[in-house]
């Protein structure tokens, strides 16, 4: 007898080898509370299950299959979730620092600053990330009696998903998220300035996750108007040379732990103001709307 809560699902199963595997899965599932009918096909590598969704979920059925040593797509989803978690671990302090900086939570930035001031903090977290992924993989192989060279080869998809997701999340943060968030936190109400100086420096930081720390320290210096970060370790600092100097900037404590090297330096004068209304003398034309009476052709 069926009711409105009865659901039929086809669940893909990997790892079945014979009729004994089929019977093992069918006998296990039919004894689950809420499961009404089970038909497993070795040829199609799937199980057709009718169950009461108010008593058991599809994920519960997949978990029961996984416990028998077979694979469903639930295992892949679990691998991805674990890989994301392990990929996030090395960036916990950096993420918290960025958020606190954007929100202006000085107390929290000061709390996480000592951690980011140690370059070894980053390497330790990376190591922890790899250890977690390895431990998780070990227990998976042990649970499924795959602790062998052949077993590892057989489980290459699991291992590739686990480590691949972990590495991908790290690269996502290194190459995209931290560079973007660093420049968001660097914005200082779009301060307009017409005179001053800028210097471009490279800083010996272990990863782009430390960039927000550098920016935050620079912003605290009176006279620094804005900072732009370029991956992997380049910072362009715009400052008022009547309030601070290059020496003041390079003397910040943060550069004692992460040494800075000057790449270039320039003075910014009124003629180089960053504006859409620019005067292009070299081309003999005036870009100001309506003209300015300078005599140059528009």
Query: What pLDDT was estimated at residue 192?
Result: 47
Question: Is the distance from CB of 112 to CB of 72 less than 8 angstroms?
Answer: no
Mind listing the pLDDT tens digit of every residue in the chain (298 residues)? Answer: 556 678 899 998 988 888 889 999 999 999 999 999 999 999 889 999 999 888 998 888 988 898 888 888 776 677 778 888 888 887 777 777 777 776 766 666 777 788 888 888 888 888 888 898 899 888 878 876 778 888 788 778 788 888 988 888 888 888 888 888 888 766 644 444 445 789 999 999 988 888 888 998 998 899 998 899 998 899 999 999 889 999 999 999 999 999 999 999 887 654 444 443 343 333 444 444 444 444 444 4
pLDDT the model gives residue 144: 67
User: What DSSP letter does each residue of the chain carry, written as one string?
Assistant: ---TTEEEEEEE-B---SHHHHHHHHHHHHTSTTEEEEEEETTTTEEEEEEETTT--HHHHHHHHHHTT-B-HHHHHHHHHHHHHHHHGGGHHHHHHHHHHHHT-HHHHHHHHHHHT-HHHHHHHHHHHHHHHHHHHHHHHHHTT--SHHHHHHTHHHHHHHHHHHHHHHHHIIIIIHHHHHHHHH--TT---SSEEEEEEEE--SSGGGHHHHHHHHHTSTTEEEEEEETTTEEEEEE-TTT--HHHHHTSTHHHHS-EEEEEEEEE-GGG---SS-EETTTTEE-STT--SS--B-
At residue 110, the pLDDT reads 74
Does the predicted model carry a pTM greater than 0.85? no
């Amino acid at each position: 007898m069926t009711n409105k809560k009865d659901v039929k699902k086809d669940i893909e199963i990997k790892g079945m080898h014979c009729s004994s595997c089929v019977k093992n899965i069918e006998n296990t599932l039919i004894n689950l509370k809420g499961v009404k009918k089970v038909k497993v096909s070795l040829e199609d590598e799937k199980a057709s299950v009718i169950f009461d969704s108010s008593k058991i979920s599809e994920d519960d059925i997949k978990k029961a299959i996984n416990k028998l040593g077979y694979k469903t797509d639930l295992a892949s989803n679990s691998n991805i979730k674990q890989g994301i978690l392990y990929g996030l671990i090395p960036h916990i302090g950096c993420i918290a620092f960025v958020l606190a900086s954007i929100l202006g939570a000085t107390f929290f930035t000061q709390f996480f600053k000592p951690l980011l001031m140690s370059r070894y903090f980053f390497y330790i977290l990376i190591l922890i990330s790899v250890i977690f992924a390895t431990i998780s993989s070990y227990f998976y192989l042990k649970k499924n009696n795959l602790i062998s060279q052949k077993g590892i080869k057989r489980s290459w998809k699991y291992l590739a998903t686990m480590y691949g997701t972990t590495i991908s999340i790290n690269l996502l943060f290194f190459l995209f998220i931290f560079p973007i968030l660093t420049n968001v936190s660097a914005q200082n109400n779009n301060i307009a300035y017409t005179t001053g100086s800028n210097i471009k420096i490279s800083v010996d930081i272990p990863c782009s996750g430390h960039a927000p720390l550098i920016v935050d320290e620079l912003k605290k210096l009176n006279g620094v108007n804005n900072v732009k970060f370029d991956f992997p370790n380049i910072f362009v600092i715009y400052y008022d040379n009547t309030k601070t100097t290059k020496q003041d900037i390079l003397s910040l404590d943060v550069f004692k732990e992460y040494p800075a090297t000057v790449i270039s330096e320039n003075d910014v004068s009124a003629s180089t103001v960053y504006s859409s209304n620019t005067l292009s003398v070299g081309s003999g034309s005036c870009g100001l709307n309506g003209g300015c009476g300078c005599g140059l052709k528009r």
